[in-house]
Amino acid sequence: MKAWNSIPPVRPLVFSAFLSKIIRNLSLDRYAYSHAEKRGSGEIPLLLDELSECIPDEKNAAGYEDKEELKSILNAFLGSLATDARNIFIRRYWFGDSVQEISAYSGFGASKIKMSLMRSRKELKAALEKEGYTV
């Protein structure tokens, strides 16, 4: 129903991406509801805290208004990562998986996952600073 009510007047170019964004947002809403502070808190605040060291704050970022440019920088960054590092990064920051869940999924140890995430965040910060986005 959410997809039906959200379809814009013009047909989306990539319908599957349009639907996955709606599903992701619904999932995040459900996750926030079920992991609210009174329900034991969740991983989302931790993820945002981890990324705060490399993603500029919306209020302090020069040129942050151009979301398409930021999106292309992020896509180029993800494209530059090795397959394993990209999968780890996406599972952590897109799907919100814990290090233990990523470890079980990928077969890598927790220390390798943490090190990969740390290196990826440093590379992301460098890529954003190169393009003029500062933290």
Instruction: List, for residues 18-47, the tens digit of each pLDDT value.
Output: 889 889 989 988 887 766 655 434 667 778
Say whether both 48 and 102 belong to one domain.
yes
* CATH number where 114 lies: 1.10.10.10
Say whether both 131 and 104 belong to one domain.
yes
Q: What is the extent of the structural domain holding 117? A: 43-135
Say whether both 76 and 120 belong to one domain.
yes
Residues of the chain with pLDDT under 70: 34-43, 56-65, 135
Give the burial string for 95-130 (b: 16+ CB within 10 Å, else e).
ebbbbeebbeebebeeebbeebbeebbebbbebbee
Say whether both 48 and 76 belong to one domain.
yes
Number of structural domains in the chain? 2
Say whether both 59 and 95 belong to one domain.
yes
Say whether both 49 and 37 belong to one domain.
no
Angle at 48 between CA 114 and CA 31, to 5 degrees: 100
